[in-house]
Amino acid sequence: MFAAGCDVGSLTSKAVIMKDGKIIESVIIKSKARPWESADEVMNIVLNRAGLTMKDIKSCVGTGYGRDKISFVHEAVSEIACHGKGARWLVPTVRTVIDIGGQDCKALRLDDKGNMVKFITNDKCASGTGRFLEVMAKVMHLNLDELGEMSAKSKQPVTFASACTVWAQADVIQHLNDRVPIEDIAAGVNNAMASRMSTLANNIGLERDVCMTGGVAKNSGVVNALEKQLGIRIKRIRREDPQIAGAIGAALFAAEKANGGAK
């Protein structure tokens, strides 16, 4: 029995196909302006790679900010629930999940059975989101995946006076004009992101084990800075890409639905 999850985010869209609790195929693409187009494209790609058609999918759940615009799903589930479920599948011992998406950031606390206990989200400001890093990387003429590499070379990270994306962008430009080493600016950007996330995580009552999901989890500079600020070790997700956690959770919900609600 095949189950699928489709996570349509503001920056990327993800799709996962699972069978008997195992991932058969997964895909990540850059999101289009219209969420339904992103959903159609990513689902078509993942089906083609798996050698399947939509008729082979017993159940499909949609999530992400565009979840209500997906025509082919059987149900839409919030990204909060899907990220919690996906993170639990990736790291069975996880109790705190920190997710940084393109337009929001979330911290979730789970009980020992994986049920949601508390969550907090920031979707009102770009600071602490993937968009924040995207803007800063563009100003520095770097790719997003270069920010983590640059941080490791920093000897004196800069400090940003404000977490606001607009003011931080102006600070980056000023630092560049002052010939501050780009690795020190990159480290400062990652530290600013980590600071925002540490506040969010502490507000829900941090409990071990902790893991990060979302594309920013692949930025070693942010992860390392967050570990220092929280004073804990963050569990690395190695078995799958942490960016597909939401889609994994959606596929797991779909499998439960196909099995009549049995977990």
Q: What is the pLDDT of residues 198-236, one digit of tens each?
A: 988 999 989 999 999 998 999 999 999 999 999 999 999
Same domain, 226 and 120: yes
Q: How confident is the model at residue 261 (pLDDT cuts 50, 70, 90)?
A: low
Same domain, 78 and 206: no
Same domain, 258 and 146: no
What mean pLDDT do residues 63-92 have?
A: 94
pLDDT reported for residue 83: 94
Same domain, 112 and 151: yes
Alpha carbon of 255 to those of 23, 34, 46, 74, 78: distances in Å? 12, 27, 17, 11, 16
Residues ≥6 apart with Cβ < 8 Å to 199: none
Range of the domain at 4: 1-91+244-263
Q: What is the pLDDT of residues 37-75, one digit of tens each?
A: 999 999 999 999 999 999 999 999 999 989 999 999 999
- Assign residue 261 a region (left: φ > 0; alpha: ψ between -120 and 50; beta: otherwise): left
Same domain, 165 and 212: yes
pLDDT reported for residue 60: 98
Coarse DSSP helix, strand, coil percentages of the chain, rounded to the nearest 5 percent = 45, 20, 35
Instruction: Output the DSSP codes for 132-193.
Output: HHHHHHHHTT--TTHHHHHHTT-SS----S---HHHHHHHHHHHHHTT--HHHHHHHHHHHH
Q: What is the CATH number of the domain that holds 44?
A: 3.30.420.40
Query: pTM of the full predicted structure?
Result: 0.91
CA-nearest of 230, 161, 233, 164 to 198 is 230
Q: Indicate whether 92 pLDDT > 80.
A: yes
Tell me how far apart the alpha carbons of residues 149 and 161 are, in angstroms, rounded to a whole number.
23
CA-nearest of 75, 65, 69 to 101 is 65
What mean pLDDT do residues 172-191 have?
A: 96
The single-letter code of the amino acid at 122 is N
Q: What is the pLDDT of residues 7-37, one digit of tens each?
A: 999 889 999 999 999 999 999 999 999 999 9
Residues 140/168, Cβ–Cβ less than 8 Å: no
pLDDT reported for residue 239: 82
Look at the chain and report how many structural domains it folds into. 2
* Partners of 18 in the β-ladder: 3, 23
Same domain, 153 and 77: no
Same domain, 172 and 109: yes
Higher pLDDT pick, 144 / 72: 72
- The interaxial angle of helices 182-203 and 130-139, nearest 10 deg, is 170
Share of the chain above pLDDT 90, in %: 74
Q: How far apart are the first and last CA of the chain?
A: 14
Tell me how far apart the alpha carbons of residues 34 and 201 are, in angstroms, rounded to a whole number.
32
